[in-house]
């Protein structure tokens, strides 16, 4: 126990000597996905540019379309999120959707665009 306490104190001194610990900050890229006429799957990258832990999730209550699927729906810090679309039950035309990423490091939106022929 004494060794653990000494290690914790050493880490605290090290962090204070290195400067300020930055809060979590979420960056989501790209902010727009165009699936065109044929693509069905693309990736979005969630990155924490801060030092503290980033907890994020995709909010489906704001503006969610049933033809959009994603995984994972939530995570901690950095992640690759796969966005998939299903044209099967859609009529001909252009479609737009939006995914809202909610986190303790800010909120971001990703626009989804596709065409059905």
**CA nearest 45: which of 78, 15, 12?**
78
Q: What is the C-alpha to C-alpha distance for residues 107 and 46, in angstroms, rounded to an integer?
A: 11
% pLDDT > 90, the chain: 74
Listed in sequence order, the residues at least 6 apart from 68 whose beta carbon sits closer than 8 Å to its beta carbon are 83, 84, 85, 97, 99, 112
Residue 13: which H helix or E strand, with range?
A: helix 2-18
pTM of structure: 0.80
CB count, 10 Å around CB of 71?
Answer: 10
pLDDT by residue, tens only, the chain of 117 residues? 556 545 555 555 555 555 788 999 999 999 999 999 999 999 999 999 999 999 999 997 766 688 999 999 999 999 999 999 999 999 999 999 999 999 999 999 999 999 999
Give the CATH superfamily of 22-116: Immunoglobulins (2.60.40.10)
Q: What is the C-alpha to C-alpha distance for residues 47 and 76, in angstroms, rounded to an integer?
A: 10
């Amino acid at each position: 126990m004494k060794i653990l306490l000494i290690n914790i104190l050493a880490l605290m001194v090290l962090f204070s000597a290195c400067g300020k610990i930055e809060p979590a900050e979420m960056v989501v890229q790209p902010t727009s996905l165009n699936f065109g006429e044929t693509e069905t799957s693309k990736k979005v990258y969630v990155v924490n540019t801060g030092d503290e832990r980033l907890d994020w999730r995709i909010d489906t209550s704001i503006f969610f379309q049933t033809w959009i699927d994603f995984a994972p729906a939530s995570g901690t810090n950095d992640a690759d999120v796969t966005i998939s679309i299903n044209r099967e039950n859609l009529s001909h035309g252009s479609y737009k959707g939006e995914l809202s990423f909610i986190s303790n490091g800010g909120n971001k939106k990703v626009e989804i665009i596709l065409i059905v022929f």
